[in-house]
Amino acid sequence: MKGFMKSRSAWPRSVSIFEVSPRDGLQAESKALSPEDRAALVLKLSETGLSDIEVGSFVRADRIPQLQDTERVVALVKHALRKHPKPPRLWAFVPNLVGLEKAIASDVDGVGLFVASSDTFCRKNVNSSQKEILAQMGPLIMRARKAKLKCRVYVSTAIYCPYEQWIKPTVTHRLAECLLDLGAPELSLGDTTGHGTPLSIRRLLEPLIKKHGPEPFALHLHDTRGTALANVLEGLAHGIRRFDSSVGGTGGCPYAPGASGNLATEDLLYMLQGMGFSKKVSLEKMVESGQLIERLLGRRLPSKVLQAVQGERDLQKKGS
């Protein structure tokens, strides 16, 4: 691939992981975890050395009941980490000003906002058109900045929409330009349905990075069709240094049928560390986090590394 064959000098010097399992990983689960269990997951993830964890969402309980009582989750985690020498930044997803004010009151460190390249997906997700979302985006970013919160914008369906099908790269490019003009510090470009391939990632990134450089962009990849790690490599080749992932490979979107499976953090971390990145994050503790969420959900998760480690341990037990 043209992008992947770029000189290694174009790659980032460091890479960070933005953990989304307590929010994106749980929002489509049929089993709703208690605030105490969700806090326990965040605390276990905090042992890994991750710098950023999205702990929940301030949305109406009737929209996504799996994420209700995020205030309680934040309070439990904040209390438990009060003496931590370097706690991770705690983030929350907010759909509007009401959610943002709740996030501010809860004392999170950062907020994620939402828009989609597909107008239909916008309406399905937050019951507003893309135009309506963009009209309130500037004030939301300004309010977050005034509250001294970090801020990022999720750009969903950047490549493919379950309702409108393939999204032309120029559509996402125009939306990204608009968001940057509104003051968005970071755009997390989402392959929401996992249709992306290295070629579509290159077509998405090249014009944006040529104009703005890689710094404002992150990639939020789903592994629905098994291409997420290949897409990470393409992102690295374009200088992308932040990737969203979900421990165990949990996740999906309740408004994108069939879009199950975020990129598993263990799988991403294993590859990155094999390439010399993210050495300060503990793979062992990440696997433990994956095992915890498996126990909490009561089912096996798709993470390849998690399955491999468990298989090795089962083999050792048989041999002992």
Q: 169-181 vs 198-212: helix axis angle to the nearest 10?
A: 30
Q: 11-319 sits in which CATH class?
A: alpha beta
Domain assignments of the chain as residue spans, ordered by start: 11-319
pLDDT in tens, 176-211: 999 999 999 999 999 999 999 999 999 999 999 999
Residue 263 tokens, joined: 């990129």
Both tokens assigned to 244? 């969203």
Residue whose pair of structure tokens reads 């993470």 in the numeric block:
303
pLDDT per residue as tens digits for the range 239-297: 999 999 999 999 876 666 655 689 999 999 999 999 999 999 999 999 999 999 999 99
> Please, are residues 164 and 198 in contact by the beta-carbon 8 Å criterion?
no
Strands 52-57 and 165-166: unpaired
CB 55 within 8 A of CB 76: no
pLDDT surpassing 50 at residue 53 = yes
pLDDT average, residue stretch 15-40: 95
* 3-class DSSP assignment, residue 116: strand
- Dist. CA 25–CA 29, nearest whole Å: 8
Q: What is the pLDDT of residue 320?
A: 62
Query: What mean pLDDT comes out for the span 312-317?
Result: 79
How confident is the model at residue 261, as a pLDDT? 81
Read off the pLDDT of residues 75-120 as tens digits, 9 standing for 90 and up: 999 999 999 999 999 999 999 999 999 999 999 999 999 999 999 9
pTM for this predicted structure: 0.94
24 pLDDT exceeds 50?
A: yes
Q: How confident is the model at residue 314 (pLDDT cuts 50, 70, 90)?
A: confident
- Output the average pLDDT for the chain: 94
Residue 108 and residue 243: Cα distance in Å, rounded? 20
What residues are labeled active site?
253
The conformation of residue 244, written as its DSSP 8-state character, comes to E
List the Cα angle 289/290/292 in 5-degree steps.
65
**pLDDT tops 50 at residue 1:** no
Q: At what angle do helices 304-319 and 265-274 cross, to 10 degrees?
A: 90
Q: What is the pLDDT of residue 171?
A: 98
Q: Is the pLDDT of residue 319 over 90?
A: no
- Single-letter residue type at 213: G
Question: What is the identity of the amino acid at 292?
Answer: L
Cα 320 from Cα 283, distance rounded (Å): 25
Spatial CA neighbour of 262 closest among 298, 236, 290:
290
